[in-house]
């Protein structure tokens, strides 16, 4: 009868386990700041990509004829930045243009309307019979052609109680307008970018102002802003993104960094 081989495998002793835990702790302490920084940058980058995608889809709906006029609206609240699209059908737009008494023709500042709940066809209730719509009704297809996203990790420079703004587009670049915080001064001329930065417990908005300068690269934050980006657009779409690179000066004695501004990188 063969004698059973002895099991020579031994488990970790306490000292070996403590050494392993110490090594893991050191590696984690070194790696965590880099991972945390990467994760924050990823959250802002993904938010910017989602905003661009929603805006491109809205403009494409005008080019396909689903809508004659679209709005992309931004609502900045303490809970997050909500970005949504709304639409007006070609028929509704034509009716407004052909009615000389309509505000569309008499008050151009009201075109990119932000507050009326029955101004946009996508706000209207769905009619019982899509082939015979009563005034003030829309179809399920039109209702579902627009999107809304809430981005909890980012914010913009809109400050409550006026924490909202919108930009509107039409086919072939017509009726390109803005409202609220995205309109220059008291006009309907839109700003052509929106600031996006990381939302923190200390700041629900980006500390940077709009400037009517034709050279937005000259507009800098008034203080350090974490992961500041801009989503740019134009009358015909033409989307792009720029990011702000902060610069610092380090005190040779205290090793403390002082914010010195920075530059926009395209």
d(CA 235, CA 242): 18
Q: How far apart are the first and last CA of the chain?
A: 80
pLDDT value at position 262? 86
Q: Is the dihedral of CA 122, 123, 128, 133 positive or negative?
A: negative
Length of the chain: 266
Quote the mean pLDDT of the chain: 85
- What is the CB neighbour count within 10 angstroms for residue 146? 23
Q: Is the pLDDT of residue 149 over 70?
A: yes
DSSP 90-126: HHHHHHHHH-TTSHHHH-GGGTT-SS-TTSSGGGSPB
> Tell me, what DSSP letter sits at residue 4?
P
d(CA 185, CA 68): 26
Q: Which of 13-27, 63-77, 198-212, 214-228: highest mean pLDDT? A: 63-77
Structure tokens at 243: 């990011």
What is the gyration radius of the CA atoms in the chain, in angstroms?
Answer: 27
Structure tokens at 187: 């006009």
Q: Is the pLDDT of residue 23 over 90?
A: no
Structure tokens at 207: 């500390």
Whether the CB-CB separation of 219 and 191 falls below 8 Å is answered with no
pTM, to two decimals: 0.83
pLDDT value at position 11? 56
pLDDT value at position 215? 57
Q: Is the pLDDT of residue 32 over 70?
A: no
What is the mean pLDDT of the segment spanning 184-198? 90
The structure tokens 């002793």 sit at 13
pLDDT value at position 180? 92
């Amino acid at each position: 009868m063969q004698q059973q081989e002895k099991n020579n495998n031994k488990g970790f002793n306490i000292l070996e386990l403590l050494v392993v835990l110490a090594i893991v702790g050191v590696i984690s302490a070194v790696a965590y700041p880099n991972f945390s920084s990467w994760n924050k940058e990823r959250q802002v980058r993904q938010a910017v990509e989602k905003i661009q995608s929603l805006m491109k889809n809205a403009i494409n709906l005008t080019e396909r004829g689903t809508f004659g006029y679209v709005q992309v609206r931004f609502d900045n609240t303490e809970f997050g930045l909500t970005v949504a699209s709304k639409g007006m059908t070609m028929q509704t737009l034509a009716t407004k243009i052909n009615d000389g008494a309509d505000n569309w023709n008499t008050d151009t500042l009201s075109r990119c309307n932000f507050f009326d709940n029955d101004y946009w066809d996508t706000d209207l209730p769905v009619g019982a019979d899509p082939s015979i719509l009563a005034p003030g009704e829309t179809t399920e297809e039109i209702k579902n052609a627009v999107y809304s996203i809430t981005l909890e990790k980012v914010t913009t420079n809109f400050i409550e109680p006026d924490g909202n703004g919108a930009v509107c587009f039409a086919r072939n670049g017509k009726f390109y307008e803005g409202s609220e915080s995205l309109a220059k001064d008291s006009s309907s001329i839109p700003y052509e970018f929106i600031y996006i930065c990381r939302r923190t417990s200390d700041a629900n908005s980006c500390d940077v102002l709009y400037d009517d300068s034709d050279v937005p690269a000259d507009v800098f934050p008034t203080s350090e802003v974490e992961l500041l980006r801009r989503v740019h657009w134009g009358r015909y779409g033409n989307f792009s993104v720029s990011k702000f690179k902060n610069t610092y000066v380090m005190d040779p004695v205290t090793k403390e960094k002082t914010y010195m501004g920075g530059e926009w990188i395209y």
